[in-house]
């Protein structure tokens, strides 16, 4: 069990900079998820923590000790790979015991540890099988078991669920969450799937282009995204964005002109110098409701209808060409080609400046705030 500290970690491959100075604190027992689009550097960062990639600059500390040049073994980490990476010529038992045998531990102790891990992961019946005789989910559990038996300071998971089918993914996700509760160990988990990130993490690190965009709890990222990128990445379907112009600024209030002539007053702290600038307004599909009931109103022609049972997603084409997604109730009778009006309360809005940075919301209503969660 250990703290982990990243101090200005940089990584370059030749002239190509992949990571541009990452700072991060991971507390003992925390479940941290790195999330981001492909190529954002999240896997590279994980491999740097594992010791599989050299650090170009900065310091990596585990338990207060700089481990930049230490081998993976001496760092006390265990890694679970996306491809499982089980030794194909060894049985499940040997796969799990292989790393321990090298530590010259006595046989009985190794045996006890392997059987305990097998019990936790319900692999008891499979110990004599080879990886080729296991299903995908079982292989993944063996890979996790191989990590558990080593009793590492930090567990590293590299997209462990992406090779599983949808049903198994949900099941294994729950198992990993339970495992974290039982083991109380520090876990760093890489995924591109924001649902995994939201459901598993104590702390999410959103990465983009080799930089950390934002670090926070799942609800913080959902309700208070600091950048347009985070706002668009967290939440499914993605947040709606539309360009608006700042019309007037008062203390804690900003009036924006929405394309189509409507003006709305929103609760944001905006510097008065911003009047006349173009900014971006974001609203989540689930905060929009059909009808003219909130302060922010859009209307458009329904282009596509997706029925999910519990809810229905409507994809509207606005007059100015923007596309807006609305989450309607499952029993909605709206059809393709209908013209509908949807609206949201002003408190649900997000406002981002030209560089994609969020303006601070004031007097945030409880339903749109992560303060007490």
Partner 1 sequence: MSFSNIRREDASRAVIVHAILLTYTLVALYPIFLVVINAFKTRKGIFKDPMGLPNADTFSLEGFTKVLAKSDFELFFYNSFSVTIITIVIVLLLAAMAAWALSEYKFPGNTVLALYLAIGIMVPIRLGSVSILNLIVDLGLINTLTALVMVYVAQGLPLAIFILTEFMHQIPKDLKEAARCDGVGEFKIFFAIILPLIRPAVATVAVFTMIPIWNDLWFPLILAPGDGKQTITLGVQQFIGQYVTDWNAVLASLSLAIIPILVLYLIFSRQLIRGLTSGAVK
Footprint on this chain of partner 1 (rule: CB under 8 A): 50-52, 71-73, 77-79, 81-89, 98-99, 102-103, 130-134, 136, 139, 146, 150, 163
Task: Give the span between the Cα atoms of 17 and 193, in whole angstroms.
Answer: 24
Of 132 and 181, nearer to partner 1 (C-beta) is 132
| Minimum CB distance to partner 1, residue 211 (Å) | 25
Listed as own residue / partner, the contacts of 64-67 with beta carbons closer than 8 Å and 24 or more positions apart are: 64/3, 64/5
Strand, helix or coil at 287? helix
| Nearest distance in Å: CB 207, partner 1 | 21
Alpha helices by DSSP H, 128-165: 136-148
CA atoms within 13 A on the CB side of 291: 5
Q: Token pair for residue 246?
A: 């700042």
Q: What's the rounded Cα separation, in Å, for the pair 372 and 40? A: 31
- Alpha carbon distance 98, 90 (integer Å): 9
Closest by CA to 30, choosing from 65, 4, 63, 66, is 4
* Tokens encoding 367: 């339903």
Which 3 state secondary structure label does DSSP give 163?
coil
d(Cα 363, Cα 360) in Å, to the nearest integer?
10
CB nearer partner 1, residue 95 or residue 240? 95
Return the CA Rg of the chain: 24
Q: Closest separation between CB of residue 4 and partner 1, Å?
A: 16
Q: How far is the CB of 3 from partner 1 (least distance, A)?
A: 20
Q: How far is the CB of 99 from partner 1 (least distance, A)?
A: 3
DSSP assignments along 5-65, one per residue = EEEEEEEEETTEEEEEEEEEEE-TT-EEEEE-STTSSHHHHHHHHHTSS--SEEEEEETTE
E-assigned strand segments in 202-338: 203-208, 211-216, 240-250, 253-258, 262-266, 268-269, 278-283, 289-290, 296-307, 311-318, 323-329
- For residue 132, the minimal CB distance to partner 1 (Å) is 3
Q: How far is the CB of 115 from partner 1 (least distance, A)?
A: 18
Pick from 168, 160, 164: nearest CA to 143: 160
* Least CB distance to partner 1 at residue 2 (A): 16
Measured distance CA(315)–CA(304) in Å, rounded? 5
CB of 333: closest distance to partner 1 in angstroms? 45
The C-alpha atoms of residue 180 and residue 351 are separated, in whole angstroms, by: 36
Nearer to partner 1, 80 or 198 (CB): 80
Query: Helices in 126-250 by DSSP H: which ranges?
Result: 136-148, 166-183, 194-200, 218-223, 228-233
Query: Min. distance of Cβ 92 from partner 1 in angstroms?
Result: 11
């Amino acid at each position: 069990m250990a703290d982990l500290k990243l101090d200005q970690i940089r990584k370059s491959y030749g002239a190509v900079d992949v990571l541009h100075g990452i700072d991060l604190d991971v507390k003992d027992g925390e479940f941290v998820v790195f999330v981001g689009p492909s190529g954002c550097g999240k896997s590279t960062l994980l491999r740097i923590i594992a010791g599989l990639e050299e650090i170009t600059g900065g310091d990596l500390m585990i338990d207060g000790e700089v481990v930049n040049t230490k081998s993976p073994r001496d760092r006390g980490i265990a890694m679970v790979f996306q491809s499982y990476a089980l030794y194909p010529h060894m049985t499940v038992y040997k796969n799990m015991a292989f790393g321990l045998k090298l530590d010259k531990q006595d046989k009985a102790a190794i045996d006890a540890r392997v059987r305990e891990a097998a019990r936790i992961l319900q692999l008891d019946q499979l110990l004599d099988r080879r990886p080729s005789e296991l299903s995908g989910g079982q292989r993944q559990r063996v890979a996790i078991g191989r990590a558990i038996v080593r009793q590492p300071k930090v567990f590293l998971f590299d997209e462990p669920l992406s090779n599983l089918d949808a049903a198994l993914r949900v099941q294994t996700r729950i198992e990993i969450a339970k495992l974290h509760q039982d083991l109380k160990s520090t876990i760093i988990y890489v995924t591109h799937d924001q649902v995994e990130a939201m459901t598993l993490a104590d702390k999410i690190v959103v990465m983009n282009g080799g930089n950390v965009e934002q670090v926070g709890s799942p609800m913080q990222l959902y309700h208070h995204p600091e950048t347009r990128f985070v706002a668009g990445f967290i939440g499914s379907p993605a947040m709606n964005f539309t360009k608006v112009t700042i019309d007037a600024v008062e203390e804690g209030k900003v009036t924006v002109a929405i394309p189509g002539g409507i003006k709305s007053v929103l609760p944001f702290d905006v510097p008065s110098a911003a009047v006349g600038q173009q900014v971006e307004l974001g609203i989540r599909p689930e905060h929009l409701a059909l009808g003219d009931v909130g302060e922010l109103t859009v209307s458009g022609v329904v282009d596509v209808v997706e029925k999910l049972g519990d809810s229905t997603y409507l994809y509207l084409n606005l007059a100015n060409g923007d596309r807006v997604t609305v989450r309607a109730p499952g029993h909605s009778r709206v059809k393709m080609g209908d013209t509908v009006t949807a609206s949201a309360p002003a408190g649900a809005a997000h406002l981002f400046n030209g560089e994609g940075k969020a303006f601070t919301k004031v007097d945030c209503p409880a339903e749109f705030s992560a303060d007490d969660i």
